[in-house]
Each structure stands twice: as structure tokens, then as C-alpha cells.
């Protein structure tokens, strides 16, 4: 027996690296029922993405056998999550297939966007993330418990209008949100350690998921927009925030503050004073109130363009190290189109290209979101779909 024979035979029995070339680091036990849950979600995921399909189609797609798929589908049909929708139309040899689909009429989702400066927004959404009903509530400067009460009241008004059972409530909140849905810090709303998820779950008795607004937006752009599974979304509003999606999963960071780039100092040449006490934070160039103030004071189109170009360049300067370090191929902007799209975005992408290595991201893309103002609510709905069904 040669040395290499020993290794070959031993190695065969060992866990191989997965498709991404690395081994899964085991952290907790995995039982057969977990595998089952995974495969269950796999069926839902297949139907969610590809639409109506037969059991045999799903079996081919997933690699599981027809028998197993039949079993899983039976389970999902009992729970009313999957339904049969008749036989396949097009004629082909063999027994006609019974087509299945997600029971898209089974549940509704409530998505909430707390990131607005003057009002809270919420909506009832369907399985496809389409908005069915809307509701708003003027914030009127409420903070602390008053703000919380407004959230509850807004959700209440929508719950009353649902026509189907509620799958869950998703909330996109500004500030720093931990994994348990507690808003650790949201200065504008006067929240510090607000256990929003717990609170809403107790109040409404349905699963609730609270996530940072920019992260929600990034999820929405991935699920409903054209975004890749690795991208950064920059949300420009009253402040500037970011959401990072790596391999389709939001990044949270060591203190749940990943994406918070509004208060990173940009450039080496000073800058305006920021509310945070520093000088030259990204927000001082890019936040909507600052931009609008600067534009209002401008007297010519040239001056206007200079202001927007400067803002775009600053964003590019701030993003360049991030794009380089993460080897990002896609950056998406969300915010007022009339400000961001055009001169500003062009300046940003040009700055980014000039300051990073083209070889590593030849196809670097920067574009506006296609989801408009509903992006956070729809991202919150994605959280629910993903958390409750394993679908996104």
C-alpha cells in the first residue's frame, strides 16, 4: 500500500468542500428533520421562482426523486401552501402532468417602512411582493413611545384590512437593529433598545421580522429588482445609509451596524461640519436636505451640476475602498431620482472606476433602483417570505 493509496481511500470518506470550495464549519447538530425542512423550502423556492410546475419538473430541478417530491408536496398541500392548478396544456407523450403552484392566495404579508422623515408607510403585499393596500401615518415629530404607538396603530389599520391570514409582518427601520429585531439605536425616532419585534409579535400574534431599512432595500432589489447576489445598496434620504448583500445574505456586522457609511469621513480636504461632530462625513455632501439646500442657493445650471458632481465624486471616493475590498460588481442607489440619477450617478461611477482596479471588476455597475419608494416595504416582505417559507 503506497502512501498515496492511504490518502485517497481515507479522503473519500471525508466531507468534501462544497460548491463554493470551502467546507461548512459545523456549529450545531443537524437532524434529519432539518434536512426535511430544507428540502421543503427547496420545493417552495422552485415554485416561487419558476412558477407553475409539475411534481416531476420539481424532481428534475432539485435532484430529489419524484417520490420524495410527491411526499413533500402532499405535506405542503395539507398546509395549504401549495395547490394543484390543473393539467399541463401543451400536448406531449406520456401521462399529462398535474401542475402545481404556490397557493398565492393563501396568505398576505404586511410590510412596514419606518425610514421616512415625515411619515411611516406600510402596505399589504402578496406572495409576489405586489402591493395590495397602502397606509401612511404622519410622524409629526413623534419619538420614543409615541413613535412606537404610531407603528402599532399603522399596522393595526392594515391588519383590519387584510382579506387572508397574515404570513408575517416585516419592518424596515432606520438605525441599528440587532438580530432579534430590537432597534438598538435610531436617533431620529428617539429609540434606544426598542424591542420592536417582540412588541409587535406579542401585540399581533404573528411572526414579525425587523431589519435595518437599507438592508431591507437591498433584499428587495435582489428579489424583485435585477440585483445580483453580491451588491451594495446606498440609500440617500435624510441621512445616508447602506445595505450589503453578500451571497444573497444581508451583512450585519460585529455590532449590527454594517452599511452605516453616512458618517465615514470622505477625502483629505476637510469638509462641512456634521451633526455627529466630525467634519467631512459623507452625509454632509450627500444627504437630501444638504443637497437641496446647496442646490437652492445655486444660480446657474453649471453651478447646479458642479454641486451634484461634487456629491457624486464624494460618494465614489467613499465607496472605492469598499468596492475594492469586497470586489463588488454592483452598486445600487435608492433615493430621490431627480437628485441622484444623472450627473451625480455619472460622477460616482467615474470616480469609482478611476480609483479602483478595473481588472477586478471590469463590469462594475452603478444604477438607480427600479423599485422606487416602495423598496423598503417590499424588502420587509422579502424578510417574511424568506424567514417563514425559506423563499426569496
Partner DNA sequence: GTTTGTTAGTAAAGCTTACGAACAAACTCT
Partner DNA sequence: AGAGTTTGTTCGTAAGCTTTACTAACAAAC
Report the site for its own copies in 262-281 (rule: CB under 8 A): 263-269, 276, 278
* CA 72 to each of CA 26, 27, 77, 100, 375: distance values in angstroms, whole numbers, following the listed order: 26, 27, 9, 12, 33
Residue 265 is given by DSSP the state B
* CA 65 to each of CA 59, 107, 389: distance values in angstroms, whole numbers, following the listed order: 5, 29, 21
Cα separation, 233 vs 26, in Å, equals 31
Q: Locate all alpha helices (DSSP H) within 205-264, ordered by sequence.
A: 213-223
Q: Is 236 in the site for its own copies (CB under 8 A)?
A: no
Report phi then psi at 230, rounded to 5. -125, 110
Q: Is 390 in the site for its own copies (CB under 8 A)?
A: yes
Q: What distance lies between CA 346 and its chain's CA centroid?
A: 25
CB nearer to its own copies: pick between 272 and 354:
354
Other CB atoms within a 10 A radius of the CB of residue 335 amount to: 23
Give min distance, CB of 299 to its own copies, in A.
Answer: 26
Which of 258, 286, 332, 371 touches its own copies by CB under 8 A?
A: 258
Which partner, its own copies, DNA, none, binds residue 3 by CB below 5 to 8 Å per kind? its own copies
C-alpha cell at 119: 411619515
Which partner, DNA, its own copies, none, binds residue 56 by CB below 5 to 8 Å per kind? DNA
Cα separation, 47 vs 100, in Å, equals 8
Which partner, DNA, its own copies, none, binds residue 57 by CB below 5 to 8 Å per kind? DNA
Which of 3, 95, 205, 296 touches DNA by CB under 7 A?
A: 95
CB nearer to its own copies: pick between 34 and 134:
34
Give min distance, CB of 89 to its own copies, in A.
Answer: 28
C-alpha cell at 148: 412606537
Q: Is 50 in the site for DNA (CB under 7 A)?
A: no
388 neighbors 232 (Cβ within 8 angstroms): no
Which of 65, 153, 229, 370 touches DNA by CB under 7 A?
A: 65
Name residues contacting its own copies, limited to 12-51 (CB under 8 A). Answer: 13-17, 19-32, 34-35, 37-42, 45
Coil, strand or helix at 64: coil
Q: Is 179 in the site for its own copies (CB under 8 A)?
A: yes
Cα separation, 138 vs 15, in Å, equals 56
Other CB atoms within a 10 A radius of the CB of residue 103 amount to: 19
Q: Is 111 in the site for its own copies (CB under 8 A)?
A: no
**Which residues are CB-contacts of 147 (< 8 A; sequence separation ≥ 6)?**
139, 189, 190, 191
Which of 120, 127, 191, 256 touches its own copies by CB under 8 A?
A: 256
Q: Which residue has the cell 403585499?
A: 125
CB nearer to DNA: pick between 56 and 326:
56
Which of 51, 86, 96, 180 touches its own copies by CB under 8 A?
A: 180
Q: What distance lies between CA 306 and its chain's CA centroid?
A: 33
> x-or-dash pattern for DNA, window 5-34, by CB under 7 A?
------------------------xxxxx-
Which partner, DNA, its own copies, none, binds residue 118 by CB below 5 to 8 Å per kind? none
Which partner, DNA, its own copies, none, binds residue 67 by CB below 5 to 8 Å per kind? DNA
Which of 6, 35, 140, 272 touches DNA by CB under 7 A?
A: 35
Other CB atoms within a 10 A radius of the CB of residue 69 amount to: 24
Cα separation, 177 vs 119, in Å, equals 20
Give min distance, CB of 57 to DNA, in A.
Answer: 6
Name residues contacting its own copies, limited to 47-106 (CB under 8 A). Answer: 62-64, 79-80
Which of 11, 14, 92, 268 touches DNA by CB under 7 A?
A: 92
Which of 77, 97, 131, 326 touches its own copies by CB under 8 A?
A: 326
**Which residues are CB-contacts of 276 (< 8 A; sequence separation ≥ 6)?**
263
Which parts of this chain interact with DNA (CB under 7 A)? Answer: 29-33, 35-36, 39, 54-57, 63-68, 70-72, 91-98
Amino acid at each position: 500500500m503506497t502512501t498515496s493509496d492511504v490518502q485517497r481511500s481515507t479522503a473519500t470518506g471525508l466531507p468534501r468542500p462544497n460548491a463554493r470550495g470551502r467546507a461548512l464549519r459545523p456549529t450545531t447538530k443537524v437532524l434529519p428533520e432539518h434536512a426535511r425542512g430544507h428540502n421543503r423550502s427547496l420545493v417552495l423556492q422552485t415554485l416561487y421562482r419558476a412558477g407553475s410546475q409539475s411534481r416531476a419538473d420539481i424532481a428534475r430541478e432539485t435532484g430529489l426523486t419524484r417520490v420524495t417530491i410527491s411526499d413533500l408536496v402532499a405535506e405542503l398541500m395539507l398546509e395549504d401552501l401549495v395547490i394543484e392548478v390543473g393539467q399541463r396544456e401543451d400536448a406531449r407523450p406520456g401521462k399529462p402532468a398535474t401542475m402545481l403552484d404556490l397557493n398565492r392566495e393563501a396568505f398576505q404579508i404586511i410590510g412596514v417602512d419606518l425610514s421616512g422623515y415625515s411619515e411611516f408607510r406600510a402596505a399589504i403585499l402578496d406572495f409576489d411582493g405586489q402591493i395590495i393596500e397602502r397606509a401612511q401615518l404622519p410622524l409629526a415629530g413623534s419619538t420614543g413611545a409615541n413613535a412606537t404607538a404610531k407603528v402599532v396603530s399603522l399596522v393595526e389599520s392594515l391588519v383590519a384590512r387584510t382579506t387572508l391570514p397574515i404570513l408575517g409582518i416585516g419592518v424596515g427601520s432606520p438605525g441599528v437593529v440587532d438580530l432579534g429585531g430590537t432597534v438598538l439605536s435610531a436617533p431620529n425616532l428617539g429609540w434606544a433598545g426598542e424591542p420592536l419585534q417582540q412588541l409587535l409579535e406579542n401585540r399581533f400574534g404573528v411572526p414579525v421580522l425587523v431589519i435595518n431599512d437599507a438592508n431591507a432595500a437591498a433584499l428587495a432589489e435582489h428579489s424583485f429588482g435585477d440585483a445580483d447576489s453580491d451588491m451594495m445598496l446606498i440609500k440617500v434620504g435624510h441621512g445616508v445609509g447602506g445595505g450589503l448583500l453578500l451571497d444573497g445574505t444581508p451583512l450585519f456586522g460585529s455590532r449590527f451596524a454594517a452599511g452605516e457609511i453616512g458618517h465615514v469621513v470622505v477625502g483629505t480636504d476637510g469638509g462641512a461640519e456634521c451633526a455627529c461632530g466630525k467634519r467631512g462625513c459623507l452625509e454632509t455632501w450627500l444627504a437630501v436636505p444638504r443637497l437641496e439646500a446647496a442646490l437652492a442657493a445655486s444660480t446657474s445650471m453649471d453651478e447646479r451640476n458642479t454641486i451634484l458632481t461634487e456629491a457624486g465624486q464624494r460618494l465614489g471616493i467613499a465607496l472605492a475602498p469598499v468596492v475594492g475590498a469586497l470586489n463588488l460588481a454592483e452598486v445600487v442607489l435608492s433615493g430621490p431620482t431627480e437628485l441622484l440619477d444623472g450627473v451625480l450617478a455619472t460622477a460616482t461611477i467615474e470616480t469609482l472606476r478611476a480609483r479602483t482596479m478595473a481588472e477586478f471588476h471590469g463590469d462594475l455597475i452603478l444604477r438607480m433602483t427600479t423599485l422606487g419608494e416602495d423598496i423598503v416595504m417590499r424588502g420587509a416582505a422579502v424578510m417574511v417570505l424568506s424567514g417563514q417559507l425559506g423563499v426569496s
